[in-house]
Structure 1
Amino acid sequence: MDIAWSVFTPWHSLAGGLLIGLAASLLLLANGQIAGISGILGNLLQRTGLQNWRVAFVAGLILAPLLLLPLLPATGPFRPSVPVAEPMDILRLLAGGFLVGLGTRMANGCTSGHGVCGLARFSPRSLAAVLTFMLAGFATVFIWRETWGLPL
Structure 2
Amino acid sequence: MDLVEWIRQPWAWYVAGPMISLVMFLLLYFGKEFGVSGNLRTLCSIAGAGKVNDFFRFDWKGQLWNLTFVLGGLIGGFIAKEYLSDSSVVGISDATVAQLKSMGIENPGSSYLPESIFSWEALATPKYALMLVVGGVLVGFGTRYAGGCTSGHAISGLSNMQIPSLIAVIGFFIGGLIMTHLILPHLLTL
Does 2:39 match 1:27? no
Structure 2: unaligned runs, 5 residues or longer: 1-8, 47-58, 92-110
> Residues 28 and 35 of structure 1 are in contact (CA less than 8 Å); yes or no, is this contact kept in structure 2?
no
2:172 is aligned to 133
Does 2:36 match 1:37? yes
One-letter amino acid matched to 1:144: I
> Residues 41 and 58 of structure 1 are in contact (CA less than 8 Å); yes or no, is this contact kept in structure 2?
no
How high is the TM-score relative to the length of structure 1? 0.72
Task: Single out whichever of 15-24 and 56-65 deviates more from structure 2.
Answer: 15-24
Distance across 2 between alignment mates of 1:105 and 1:149? 25
One-letter amino acid matched to 1:46: S
- Report the alpha carbon displacement of residue 65 of structure 1 after superposing the two structures with TM: 0.9
Structure 1: unaligned runs, 5 residues or longer: 1-8
The 5 A counterparts of 1:1-152 are 12-13=12-13, 15-29=15-29, 31-47=30-46, 48-51=59-62, 52-68=64-80, 69-77=82-90, 80=112, 83-86=119-122, 87=125, 88-144=127-183, 148=186
User: Which structure has the greater CA radius of gyration?
Assistant: 2
One-letter amino acid matched to 1:89: Y
> Residues 42 and 60 of structure 2 are in contact (CA less than 8 Å); yes or no, is this contact kept in structure 1?
no
Q: Could you say what secondary structure the match of 2:12 adopts?
A: helix
> Residues 111 and 130 of structure 1 are in contact (CA less than 8 Å); yes or no, is this contact kept in structure 2?
yes
Task: Single out whichever of 12-21 and 106-115 deviates more from structure 2.
Answer: 12-21
One-letter amino acid matched to 2:33: I
> Residues 35 and 117 of structure 1 are in contact (CA less than 8 Å); yes or no, is this contact kept in structure 2?
yes
- Report the alpha carbon displacement of residue 16 of structure 1 after superposing the two structures with TM: 3.5
Q: Could you say what secondary structure the match of 2:61 adopts?
A: coil
Instruction: Compute the RMSD of aligned alpha carbons.
Output: 3.1
- Report the alpha carbon displacement of residue 103 of structure 1 after superposing the two structures with TM: 0.5
Q: Percent identity?
A: 32
Distance across 2 between alignment mates of 1:74 and 1:134? 29
> Residues 157 and 166 of structure 2 are in contact (CA less than 8 Å); yes or no, is this contact kept in structure 1?
yes
One-letter amino acid matched to 1:33: K
Q: 1:35 to 1:67 in 2, by over 3 A?
A: same
Distance across 2 between alignment mates of 1:14 and 1:144? 35
Task: Single out whichever of 96-105 and 78-87 deviates more from structure 2.
Answer: 78-87
Distance across 1 between alignment mates of 2:145 and 2:186? 28
- Report the alpha carbon displacement of residue 38 of structure 1 after superposing the two structures with TM: 1.2
Give the number of equivalent residue pairs.
Answer: 141
